[in-house]
Structure 1
């Protein structure tokens, strides 16, 4: 089914770019616009800009750009249709759909199919928990025993999978889903030899006999499941089964990229400017129930660079809550330098022996738990220093190793002022000379900077260049809408800049003027478009994109139609769309202090349209004439007769006179 055009228009009109982007990134007001660190590539200084007037976003670092729909597509890796459905659900718009052809139906996006079956599975597990005797006696009893209320169960969409081999699989097959899609979603495990036997069921449920914790992505879609076993199986071998079982990696679920509870916690993290990181599902649910909602879990995996950056979208402050397992903490300390490298402020809270966040908050209550967090919280460097010093004792060799280890962590902090503060604090704790620590840090930094930077950490690039390719969806715009923005003008700017001529930049400035201000009137009945086009008759543009745009303006002007900016902002050609958004988005804004404090009025580009139009025309003509002069000089070198030489020289002198006249008007100096 395809969403009909009227519904698409309603979605576009309802979606607010600030609200949509704000669900995924912590935005800060900056003049008339909003800014943030780009979620599509790794950066320390914000270069990601959101324009609420034009309803567009633009990153000056990686070149990512577009509207609210494009943002959802890029951030969530979904097709056009799925992005529309997400926005329709967010703004409570009823979707009206149209029939599609068989050929279009075959092109249904594979990722969207996975989202659909995973959502079906979530609803099945919910129904089993609340509407069956087994679910109520086993699953619901477990959740109530842990003190989870009905509201918190609903918030996290907790469920139960019946203790039979293929209850879910049979239900899914009866509803028309295929065994292949069930397996791709990680819900079905094939029995040995079942493929060859050609059975319809062809396997068994992965999560049978377990309570279910759905894992949501940032947008709130179910992408995987975590499941906890509650009893031994009938053969008495339950003890050999893992306590927790997670979905395998799929096309929509990469465990190193996601944090459990991020969807439920993101707003609280952004508002409180702090994030608590725990280890397990029940820790997250228990803390939410206690009113501590800015908490997520790494789901038993080691903390990854992708998870750190996911937290960094919403806050630079992260507090990691550990239980009393000292051996586990020492192992984890080695991986936390990654957090420092990303510029996050890391603190550690250690719970008493035998306690974890879930058990401790249930034992002492919410208020006492919050008070404990305040008292027990230590910054990462201090915690690491104290822990390693205690382990080293008085052994001088081990103490020297501790100094090297701690200094190696401090130099990972990008901010120089923070590094200086930690060097000073560490020198006091270790009773060593501060300058010695700084010198050792500088030595390590020099060594680090002379080493070639690895292109990858693990199997993934350390700095993704903009959004990845978006798969085609049957109910979307033309295919080029889904191309990676990293292949647009921003990513090739360095390569092309050396090849661009003065004429190119004047053509660009001229087209920019037409797209942004072509419909504005210089005088009654005389638009910018009518004026500038009338002044450049006989001039054609050399760049193919600008030539195409100039032709569009000329053809429509001939029909007494002036193309508006919105036409190009939503153009079906990606390059035109990107150029328009880049021209609409200013990297820097004039401070309001000029008028508010100093009472100095600075005219805007709109205020000086008549002058800028005239200057654009002159500069374009001058650049156009200079290209003609170059051609004359090149042909003069090839001339074989005196008559040819004289004709070319006269032509050159003619062009030179026009160029000098234009330069005089512009106030340029001609050598």
Structure 2
């Protein structure tokens, strides 16, 4: 276990905006930061980070919490893993008790798979750098590709001995279980035999955005025609090839900084570009580009530049990937290299300045690219030319932004020498066909068509709303000292009862606690009840109250609800009206009124509930109308009239 002092130190040093900034492109929005949700597919930013409160909220998925909660949600870390990740990031040495063998066996399967993968990565690196076979075969190959020792170590490249079970034997010897070696695909088990999947291959570890090893790509170095040139880890609980991008861990910060991502096909393309000085580059690892991979990039930037080699057949096969990028609402450019060159070879033979200039000069719009690829073989054939134009319009139809769509139609008309009217007509046909294909549901209403719907009004849970408001008050203003004006019943000279104002100074949390206790009011919602007592206890013990002191110690479910309450307040904050010399009154200016009105409204609601209960009892026993009940109802009605006067409300 990690010691409490180490956990406290990690929380104290960690900066939420820095940690989340490694995974999501954040932009300043007032005192907060905003970005696209990393948990859902969205085009408008609804992910909010508060540096002041050190909490985040994703309004599209409803998730929220502190820095550890983000890592647990985004990277699927356990709590200790998240703490260790932050400790490593901020160079904090953590105190940890040594785990027994029994405790190691109790770790879940996923963590065991991570441990096996990380051991394998270190083992293969050690073989590459510290064995004769590794140096002579693996290291020599990488150096022949032009990789420096620094680059080789940066990407954790390795080598697997050309032995049937060299890695497997060593892993078993170190205490790793065969079931996890098999589950990661590192070891192949057939009946009583077991052997290494990556025997005799150089290895490229595939890492998650946080740097954890998910799987491997291995390249064979012999001329064995029966063996695949490249071999990837099989699908596992960790590795889903359609959801990962090679190089994303090393590239993420550069992608966000440059606001552009270069997308290549192979491992060596990524490494050679990085070594040359262009670090915002990732690879789909030889697989067809998927929507999940594009969404991974979309968290960091809206701009992708796809890099193809000079192989025309390969370029045609990759055009589908461009349509997928457009569907995600992203901006895509395409750059091709001279025939016989690929990103790896071109970067190897050019300086950073030359490579950068080439990319800037040759990156073209996807329409120009499609036209150049498809039009070449169709320019003398009217039918093929028509098919090419329709193909381009099909791609334009994928774009969700209507302004971009119109601009691209105009560009296509200019390049292909055809009227815009025809293209817009074709676009409308494609769009209508897509909307209607396979849809047996209700038709999409036409423009300006009035659709009559009977709205279903959701009943408001008044007590839930008021209890939540009390929690919000305590979180935002609980430690503030305010002057509260209360109306006390006093007898005047004529013997009549009157409301007389009395001003008393107290802490907000004390005022709330005493008012609720006075009327013996209890929270019905168990979650709010737990949060309420946690806040009261914290404020009693710690006068210098900080939100983090509760969020970092409370149950994750409760912490998530606290985050929702706090960030909702941020979400609906007024715009910067002061710029226009408009100065709206803030909540802070009227805290005493807010507290009093909330408590009094809750009292009125509870009185209504009590009277309603008495009504139901009377209706059930019509023959026996209890005089005591009528007296109770009369008293409660009088009390409610009194509360209404305090609230300045007419009943």
Name the TM tier (shorter chain). 0.7 to 0.9
Asked if the contact 1:58/1:581 (under 8 Å) is kept, the reply is yes
How many Å separate the matches in 1 of 2:329 and 2:350? 34
What is the correspondence of 1:390-469 to structure 2 with a 5 Å cutoff? 390-450=376-436
2:252 to 266, 270, 281: 266
| Counterpart secondary structure, 1:129 | helix
What is the correspondence of 1:40-59 to structure 2 with a 5 Å cutoff? 40-59=39-58
Asked if the contact 2:69/2:556 (under 8 Å) is kept, the reply is no
Evaluate the alpha carbon distance shift between residue 72 and residue 641 of structure 1 in structure 2; reply closer, same or farther with a 3 A threshold.
same
1:564 Cα deviation from its structure 2 partner: 6.6
Matched, 1:193 2:204: no
Asked if the contact 1:348/1:380 (under 8 Å) is kept, the reply is yes
Evaluate the alpha carbon distance shift between residue 214 and residue 102 of structure 1 in structure 2; reply closer, same or farther with a 3 A threshold.
closer
| Counterpart secondary structure, 2:335 | strand
What is the correspondence of 1:462-611 to structure 2 with a 5 Å cutoff? 498=458, 500-523=460-483, 526-536=506-516, 537-538=518-519, 539-550=521-532, 565-566=547-548, 568-570=550-552, 572-585=554-567, 586-588=569-571, 590=573, 593-595=576-578, 597-611=579-593
2:38 is matched with which residue? Answer: 39
Evaluate the alpha carbon distance shift between residue 134 and residue 54 of structure 1 in structure 2; reply closer, same or farther with a 3 A threshold.
same
1:210 to 190, 201, 217: 201
1:333 Cα deviation from its structure 2 partner: 0.9
Question: What residue ranges of structure 1 are gaps of 5+ in the alignment?
Answer: 195-201, 233-237, 455-495
Asked if the contact 1:31/1:591 (under 8 Å) is kept, the reply is no
Question: What residue ranges of structure 2 are gaps of 5+ in the alignment?
Answer: 441-455, 484-503
Evaluate the alpha carbon distance shift between residue 394 and residue 629 of structure 1 in structure 2; reply closer, same or farther with a 3 A threshold.
farther
What is the correspondence of 1:605-620 to structure 2 with a 5 Å cutoff? 605-620=587-602
1:90-116 per-position Cα deviation (integer Å, ceiling 9, x unaligned)? 111223212457764432122222222
TM-score w.r.t. structure 2 length? 0.87
1:21 Cα deviation from its structure 2 partner: 0.6
1:136 Cα deviation from its structure 2 partner: 1.7
1:630 is matched with which residue? Answer: 612
Evaluate the alpha carbon distance shift between residue 556 and residue 139 of structure 1 in structure 2; reply closer, same or farther with a 3 A threshold.
closer
1:152 is matched with which residue? Answer: 151
What is the count of residue pairs matched by the alignment? 613
1:597-626 per-position Cα deviation (integer Å, ceiling 9, x unaligned)? 344444432332112111112221222222
Evaluate the alpha carbon distance shift between residue 50 and residue 570 of structure 1 in structure 2; reply closer, same or farther with a 3 A threshold.
same
Matched, 1:247 2:238: no
Asked which structure has the greater RCO (Cα within 8 Å, sep 6+), the reply is 1
1:319-360 per-position Cα deviation (integer Å, ceiling 9, x unaligned)? 000112222222221232111111110111111221101112
Matched, 1:85 2:84: yes
Asked if the contact 1:530/1:557 (under 8 Å) is kept, the reply is no
How many Å separate the matches in 1 of 2:640 and 2:604? 5
Q: CA RMSD in A?
A: 2.8
Asked if the contact 2:535/2:550 (under 8 Å) is kept, the reply is no
1:53-92 per-position Cα deviation (integer Å, ceiling 9, x unaligned)? 2211111111111111111111112211222221111111
1:9 is matched with which residue? Answer: 8
2:293 is matched with which residue? Answer: 307
Evaluate the alpha carbon distance shift between residue 631 and residue 207 of structure 1 in structure 2; reply closer, same or farther with a 3 A threshold.
same
1:473 is matched with which residue? Answer: none
Matched, 1:292 2:278: yes
How many Å separate the matches in 2 of 1:553 and 1:641? 49
How many Å separate the matches in 1 of 2:198 and 2:542? 66
| Counterpart secondary structure, 2:241 | coil
* Deviates most, 376-385 or 308-317: 376-385
Asked if the contact 2:478/2:508 (under 8 Å) is kept, the reply is yes
Evaluate the alpha carbon distance shift between residue 500 and residue 9 of structure 1 in structure 2; reply closer, same or farther with a 3 A threshold.
same
Matched, 1:119 2:118: yes
1:407 Cα deviation from its structure 2 partner: 2.1
| Counterpart secondary structure, 1:128 | helix
1:261 Cα deviation from its structure 2 partner: 0.7
How many Å separate the matches in 2 of 1:607 and 1:453? 54
Asked if the contact 1:518/1:562 (under 8 Å) is kept, the reply is no
Matched, 1:94 2:74: no
How many Å separate the matches in 2 of 1:53 and 1:409? 44
1:221 to 180, 196, 212: 212
1:29 is matched with which residue? Answer: 28
1:654 Cα deviation from its structure 2 partner: 4.4
Asked if the contact 2:245/2:284 (under 8 Å) is kept, the reply is yes
| Counterpart secondary structure, 1:228 | strand
What is the correspondence of 1:157-196 to structure 2 with a 5 Å cutoff? 157-190=156-189, 192-194=190-192
How many Å separate the matches in 2 of 1:392 and 1:299? 32
Asked if the contact 2:472/2:566 (under 8 Å) is kept, the reply is no
1:319 is matched with which residue? Answer: 305
How many Å separate the matches in 1 of 2:280 and 2:544? 51
Asked if the contact 1:618/1:666 (under 8 Å) is kept, the reply is yes
| Counterpart secondary structure, 1:53 | coil
1:540-562 per-position Cα deviation (integer Å, ceiling 9, x unaligned)? 33333334555667789999999
TM-score w.r.t. structure 1 length? 0.85
1:669 Cα deviation from its structure 2 partner: 5.1
Evaluate the alpha carbon distance shift between residue 637 and residue 89 of structure 1 in structure 2; reply closer, same or farther with a 3 A threshold.
same
